[in-house]
Structure 1
Amino acid sequence: MTAVGDELPPLTVQVTRKDLVRYAGAALDFNPIHWNEPFAKEVGLPDVIAHGMLTMAFAGRVITDWTGDPGKILDYYVRFTRPVVVPNDDKGATVELTGKVGAVNDDGTLRVDITAKFEGKTVLGKAQAVLRLP
C-alpha cells in the first residue's frame, strides 16, 4: 500500500550538448540559448542551458520508472526556477531527481512531489504529478 512519505527510486541523468541538439530536433525548439554559447552569454546566461521541457521530461521519468505506465499520470506540472547549465564537454551536466508521495486521496489518486537538482540547487519548483492508484 502506498503511503504519504513513501520515496520513489532516485534518478540521475547526464545532459550533454549532444542531448540538447537531439532534443531541439525532436521538439523543434532551436532557440540559440540551447546551443550557441556566445548568444547565451550575450543574453545574460552563464552558458548554454538545457531546454526547460527536457528537464521536465527527466523529472517525469521518476514517475514513469516507478509506475511502469505513463498512462497512470492524470496531471503533471512544474515551475521552471533555475536553468541547467550544460558545459561543452563529454560529461555535461548532472541532474538529480527524487520523488516522494505527498498525498493519498480518497478518490484513488495520489500526489507525488518531485525534486530536481543541478549542482545542489533546485531547478524545478512545485513539481508535482497526480496519479491513479492501481
Structure 2
Amino acid sequence: MSRLPASKATLGDELPAKQVRVKRDDLVRYAGASLDFNPIHWNERFADEVGLPGVIAHGMLTMALANELVSDWVGDPGAVIETTTKFTRPVPVPNDGVGALLEITGKVTEVREDGTAKVSVTVTFEGQTVLGRPTATVKLG
C-alpha cells in the first residue's frame, strides 16, 4: 500500500484512510451552512413518520467528507476538478453524543497524461457503503 504525496501518484496508490464521527450538532451546523433544514436531518418523529431509520445525515455532508479525504491528500481543495456520487444508503445519526462513525478510503484508479488523476472513494457506515461509486478527478501538483 503506497502513501506517497499526490504529486507522485501512481495507479493503485491508496489515500490515507480516515474515520469521521458525525454527531447531531454537526447536522445542525451543516444545515445552517447549506440552508438544508429538511426535518429528516433533525426531527426524530418526522424521520420515523417518513420511514427512515431515525434522523439521517445530509447526503451532501457525507459527500463533502468523502471529498475532504481527497482534498487533504492532494493538498489543495482547488485541485479537485470534479466529483461524482450517488446517494445509496442513509446514515442514521443517533442522539447519543457519540454519533455515527464513517470510514472513508480512497484509491487512485487512473493517472492521466494531462496531469490529472481519478480517485475512487469508499464511504462505509457499520460495514455498508453509503455512497454509490464516488469519484474525484484531481489536478496533480
Shift of 1:10: 0.6
Q: Which secondary structure state, in structure 1, belongs to the residue aligned with residue 70 of structure 2?
A: helix
| Alpha-carbon distance between aligned partners in 1 of 2:103 and 2:72, rounded to the nearest angstrom | 14
- Pick one of 29, 46, 57 that aligns with 1:50: 57
Following TM superposition, where does structure 1 have runs of at least 4 consecutive aligned residues deviating by more than 3 angstroms? none
| Alpha-carbon distance between aligned partners in 2 of 1:118 and 1:8, rounded to the nearest angstrom | 18
TM-score w.r.t. the length of structure 1 is 0.97
Contact 2:74–2:140, Cα closer than 8 Å, also in 1:
no
Structure 2 match to 1:6? 13
- Pick one of 81, 84, 89 that aligns with 1:82: 89
Structure 1 match to 2:121? 114
Deviations, residues 77-112 of structure 1 (Å, cap 9, x unaligned): 111000111001110000000000000112211100
Contact 2:53–2:92, Cα closer than 8 Å, also in 1:
yes
Shift of 1:51: 0.3
Matches within 5 A, 1:17-56: 17-56=24-63
Deviations, residues 1-55 of structure 1 (Å, cap 9, x unaligned): 3111100001111111111011111111100000000100100001000000100
TM-score w.r.t. the length of structure 2 is 0.93
Task: Say how many residue pairs are matched.
Answer: 134
Aligned-residue sequence identity (percent) comes to 60
| Alpha-carbon distance between aligned partners in 1 of 2:111 and 2:60, rounded to the nearest angstrom | 27
